[in-house]
Amino acid sequence: MTEPFDLEYRPKRFADVLGNAGVVKLLLKRSSTGTLVGRSMMFGGPKGSGKTSLARIVARAVVCDALTDGEPCNKCAGCLSIADGSADSVDEFDAATQGTVDRMRSIVEDLEYGTVSGKPRVIVLDEAHRLSKQSQDALLKSMEDRRIVVILCTTEPHSIKTAIRSRVEEYPVAYPPEQELLARLGFVCSQHKIDCELDALELIVSLNARCPRTSLTTLQSAALTGPVTVATVREITRFSSMEGVVRALTGLHTDPRAASVEFDSLFDQEGPTWVRDQVVLAISSAMRTAFGAKPTHPVPPAFWSARGDGWLATAHALSLLERPNQADIEAVLYSGVSVPASGVGSVPVKSTEPASHPPTSVKAAVKVGDATVTPPELPKPAVRSPEPLKTVPKAPPSVKVVLSPETASPRVLEVDGVRFSSDEVLTSLDNKIEHGGAPPGPELGPDIRVEFDSESLPMTEKEFARGFLERIRT
């Protein structure tokens, strides 16, 4: 089985360390002059930047039997014992699991005894910020002993007590420059005969924020599927989710409904903490773009103008959420989004205004034989709306009345090419016209031809048809 790239290419000499030129130069000088022993040290920096690797190189330099210009040979018994974990003079502890005060007191007691090899003792404490206050107090006296070297590795140097920080030499460790990391990834590809695209390597470095350890891990994962291409890297990483965060933030003010759907998907796939962190990173990247600096996330130029300086307040409010959940994050994000009166996005909001009335007055003419009788004008019903409705009158429907010769009364009605008859049942009638119709009024008789008053609100074709049928069926 192939060894993981992050372990295979872990630096074993000072010259192998990426970036951190000042720190490496100083440590190499102290190693070449034999002054590494005599003062404890602390390496502080982000995860995966090489703190523990530097600590192990220092330990090799302390116990190496054949230093070359300060560099450990990695071939002598001392160097090989560190590689296989059998060195009696070098101990490495994980403070996250062994940081109790009892464990620290046990380590301090062991320091009083010498080593079989006669080499100076080196104690490496990884995740040192997890040490309790009592554990740190237990280390104070031992760190003043010039016969040993205590090396603290931590991502949170500020969590170490001032009393300890005053007794150590602090070395800040940072991520390497992009070009150095790209060169290292290219070297790994050449060693393993991996076909790769430069754009794909640049994408790997960008997605992992120049972290050597995670960049090597991502490269190895991508290489397992074949040639390392941009498409491959996008497929195996969270790049699509990062793009989704930008799309959702961009659409907050243009299409809030689509943005909320995008956020729902992100919360389901990645979780609230990841979404919170990525939103803050996207906002900071947009701020860099506004300043003309190189963005750290693929944020479009129009993103910043959507909320302007309000993005900074949004990022600050999100950073205060220690245990974020979807509701809290959405409350912060939607706080600056205006909701239109007609609704959000394409979702209509049901109006609460009273429905308009049908025609307020209808004049009907009764035709019997050759004579036409016009009944008196019907009373106008009260209008519920507080303001008169302004509706443009429309032409009355085309009505054709067919009289039955037996009763001389209308039996079939044709409205705009749609035929209705007294044989209609409610189901078939509803298939032709929507349920409802004109409000009940006085009986006008079976032989009525309705004409519209042009000064009143028009009756719709469907209202007319249903009202006529109600009369021809009686």
The domains of the chain, with CATH numbers, are: 5-172 (3.40.50.300), 178-236 (1.10.8), 267-336 (no CATH), 363-377+396-472 (no CATH)
Alpha-carbon distance of 368 to 373, in angstroms, equals 8
Q: Which residue has the tokens 């018994």?
A: 77
Cβ(169)–Cβ(42) under 8 Å?
Answer: yes
Sheet containing 410-415: give its strands across: 399-403, 410-415, 418-421
Beta partners for 373? 366
Amino acid 112: pLDDT: 67
373 φ, ψ (degrees, to nearest 5) = -115, 125
Helix 239-250 to helix 256-270 angle (10° resolution) is 150
Residue-wise DSSP of 338-374: PPPTT-STT------SPPPPS-S--EEEEEETTEEEP
pTM above 0.85, yes or no: no
User: 10-residue block means of pLDDT along the chain (474 residues)?
Assistant: 82 91 92 84 91 92 88 88 80 80 77 70 87 82 74 91 88 93 93 91 88 92 90 86 87 87 90 91 85 76 79 89 90 80 46 43 45 50 48 46 45 57 54 44 42 45 60 56
Amino acid 23: pLDDT: 93
Amino acid 172: pLDDT: 93
**Strand pairing class (448-451; 363-368):** antiparallel
Cβ(449)–Cβ(463) under 8 Å?
Answer: no
Amino acid 51: pLDDT: 92
Amino acid 444: pLDDT: 40
Instruction: Show the tokens assigned to 120.
Output: 């100076």
Alpha-carbon distance of 421 to 328, in angstroms, equals 61
Amino acid 442: pLDDT: 38
Mark residue 64 as left, alpha or beta (left: phi above 0; alpha: psi -120 to 50; beta: remaining): beta
Amino acid 437: pLDDT: 41
Amino acid 304: pLDDT: 80
